[in-house]
Homo-oligomer: A and B are copies of this chain.
Amino acid sequence: MSEYKVPLRDLQFVRDEVLDFYALWRTLPGCEDATEDIVSAILNEEVKFCENELAPLNQSGDEEGCTWHKDGSVTTPRGFKEVYQAYVKGGWPMLSVPLEHGGQGLPDSLSLVFNEMKGSANWSWNMYPGLSKSAMHLLQEHASEEQKKTYLRPLVEGTWMGTMCLTEAHCGTDLGLLRTKAEPQDDNTYKISGTKIFISAGEHDMAENIIHLVLARLPDAPDGTRGISIFIVPKLLADGSRNAVTCGSLEHKMGIHGNATCVMNFDGARGYLIGEPNRGLNYMFTMMNSARIGIAIQGLTHAEVALQLATSYARERLQMRSLTGPKNPDGAADPIIVHPDVRRMLLTCKAFAEGGRLMINYLSKYTDIETRSHDEAAVSEAGDLLSLLTPVAKAFLTETGFECANLGMQVLGGHGYIREWGAEQNVRDSRISMLYEGTTGIQALDLIGRKVLGSGGELLKRFTNIITGFSQDNAGHETIGKFVEILTDLVDEWGEVTADIGVRAVKNADEVGGVSVDYLMYSGYVSLAFFWALAAKTAADKLEAGTDEQLYYKTKLQTATFYYERILPRTRTHVLNMKSPVSTLMDVDESCFVSVGN
């Protein structure tokens, strides 16, 4: 297989040319250090790390997987531990951790760029520091000063790592059902008992200690989601002794084999309450956006990897002749990139990879604003946009990322199905992204129910006003006017379908669930149409101003055209689906879905 290369030119286009992060950072408190020199030096080091250290372990990590031993210890694939040590030595875990917690205080969005690179190079490995990052994030926000001193510092330094222990066998989406118990002890600690499943990085050999953040229920806690507290449960206690938490087994998964996905048994393990009792889910919610954006990035990484793998194969593989006559007359056949349908598949990957990159970085710009700005109106707008667009990005980019992973594999034909080429691993690894951190269905309900209808349409308007402003500024534009026209109609239609669902929901709440995934995907396609129009505008400006990268910018415009002509028509299907009444789904008798034995 060809090795992953960081699409640095495209990252520059997105961040420096379309979104102009430097202009933002010059006005954001605490981002003054993020100058072009410093950032590009950091990026260059990150590129080296990802291409030279991480990417070479991606396939071997998948083949070897993790190994569980009878004593409950887990060995990660060959090389994972050493690369992590290099990662710690490089100071990478602390990159965008605030200075007061011992970090380097660089903007969050820089971590997200690195996340895309690391994730594309080796998603399974990237999950280990990813989970640590989530744990740090929660501790930063909600732990006591003493807890921060004890647990956050070593996490920031990277010598310790963290996990999030939420899911139990009988409850994933519905955390209100969870049963793990926390019994208060005389010394202000708690005895935690229960079994958690699907715990990513739950046990491994990469760090000196593992800090589990565990959702559990106090004896007097109310039922349901209001009775959940969150506890720090270290693998090793302060005196170095082993806490009563062990990995019972590894899950046998379709992919991400390099990641240790554990069943964790808590047998009266010592735990420390974070914050107040029964507020666990609230604390979790404060990090939901960043966790979901993390998985949205995963969607993008699989699209990028698919694009790179398939393009490299399509340019080399000789098979059949072009329908319009030989293009490689001296060869035995033409490279398959001459075939229009192969190009359709590659351009689909390209449109979602590059468009998705723009979507992610657009969101991460608002993440920087939300975290750093002192301007209340700007923070509020950023919060609203993140609230609206995070479920869209998470579900839409993972669904399309999986589509791209499959198209990438399809370009390779039968070889795509064979492990050695890497395309089938990309498919397997990507499949989890539509499931964890809330399935596509859950994101869809969050979007239409909680965010759009829940705000009386206000959150949606925040975003469509931006699109409308852009459209008004560029109406009749020589190059992108055609995109703007379509975009304007789509924004009107977005409002109409939303209003229609709102009206139907009043009569029957199930109407929302019947169209939610269509609504989310529709929202994703319209949003991406905006991002592609943004990209096209920048490219058109550059071409007009004169550039020695004619080909690069022309390809941007061509890819935008491809998106509008060959992808955006999918909205027509979703609009029609959203008109269908929910009775079509609900009238079917529960016993009649399967025809066996009728």
- Between-chain CB contacts (< 8 Å), 17 pairs: A6-B596, A9-B596, A172-B415, A177-B332, A252-B420, A254-B417, A254-B427, A307-B594, A311-B594, A324-B508, A339-B441, A341-B445, A341-B516, A414-B436, A551-B598, A561-B584, A572-B572
Q: Are A340 and B582 in contact (CB under 8 A)?
A: yes
Q: Does A509 contact B (CB under 8 A)?
A: yes
Q: Report which of B308, B333, B513, B573 forms a contact with A570, defined as CB distance below 8 A.
A: B573
Q: Does A347 contact B (CB under 8 A)?
A: yes
Q: Are A559 and B588 in contact (CB under 8 A)?
A: yes
Q: Which residues of B contact A427 (CB under 8 A)?
A: 254, 431
CA distance A112 to B489 in the complex (A): 49
CA distance A339 to B406 in the complex (A): 28
Q: Which residues of B contact A342 (CB under 8 A)?
A: 441
Q: Does A192 contact B (CB under 8 A)?
A: no
Q: Which residues of B contact A517 (CB under 8 A)?
A: 341, 344
Q: Report which of B318, B340, B587 forms a contact with A510, defined as CB distance below 8 A.
A: B340
Using CB atoms, name the residue of chain B closest to A63.
B252
Q: Does A558 contact B (CB under 8 A)?
A: yes
Chain A stretch 168-203: residues in CB contact (< 8 A) with chain B: 170-174, 177, 198
Minimal beta-carbon separation of A366 from chain B (angstroms): 24
CA distance A484 to B436 in the complex (A): 42
Q: Report which of B5, B343, B432, B577 forms a contact with A566, defined as CB distance below 8 A.
A: B577
Q: Does A424 contact B (CB under 8 A)?
A: yes
In this complex, the member of A432, A445, A596 whose beta carbon has the largest number of chain B beta carbons within 10 angstroms is A596
Q: Are B510 and A413 in contact (CB under 8 A)?
A: no
Q: Are A409 and B424 in contact (CB under 8 A)?
A: no
CA distance A434 to B514 in the complex (A): 30
Q: With A514-B340, A561-B584, A596-B8 known to touch, is A253 a contact of B569 (CB < 8 Å)?
A: no
CA distance A315 to B590 in the complex (A): 8
Q: Contact residue range for chain A?
A: 35 or more
Q: Are B589 and A343 in contact (CB under 8 A)?
A: no
Q: With A347-B588, A584-B558, A589-B555 known to touch, is A509 a contact of B323 (CB < 8 Å)?
A: yes
In this complex, the member of A347, A512, A566 whose beta carbon has the largest number of chain B beta carbons within 10 angstroms is A566
Chain A stretch 305-325: residues in CB contact (< 8 A) with chain B: 307-308, 311-312, 314-315, 318-320, 322-324
Interface pairs A-B: 4 shortest CB-CB:
A569-B576, A340-B513, A10-B595, A252-B419
CA distance A517 to B254 in the complex (A): 29
Q: Which residues of B contact A337 (CB under 8 A)?
A: 590, 593
Q: Are A417 and B435 in contact (CB under 8 A)?
A: yes
Q: Are B252 and A324 in contact (CB under 8 A)?
A: no
Q: Does A410 contact B (CB under 8 A)?
A: yes
Q: Mark A52-89, 1 if CB is under 8 A from B, else 0.
A: 00000000000000000000000000000000000000
Using CB atoms, name the residue of chain B closest to A312.
B594
CA distance A386 to B428 in the complex (A): 35
Q: Does A400 contact B (CB under 8 A)?
A: no
Chain A stretch 548-598: residues in CB contact (< 8 A) with chain B: 549, 551-552, 554-555, 558-559, 561-562, 565-566, 569-570, 572-573, 576-577, 580, 582, 584-598
Q: Are A333 and B514 in contact (CB under 8 A)?
A: no
CA distance A248 to B559 in the complex (A): 44
CA distance A445 to B336 in the complex (A): 14
Q: Report which of B315, B440, B444, B591 forms a contact with A551, defined as CB distance below 8 A.
A: B591
Q: Does A346 contact B (CB under 8 A)?
A: yes
Q: Does A384 contact B (CB under 8 A)?
A: no
CA distance A416 to B341 in the complex (A): 32
Q: Are A595 and B9 in contact (CB under 8 A)?
A: yes
CA distance A342 to B441 in the complex (A): 8
CA distance A225 to B377 in the complex (A): 70
Q: Are A418 and B253 in contact (CB under 8 A)?
A: yes
Q: Mark A333-375, 1 if CB is under 8 A from B, else 0.
A: 1000101111110110010001000000000000000000000
Q: Are A580 and B598 in contact (CB under 8 A)?
A: no
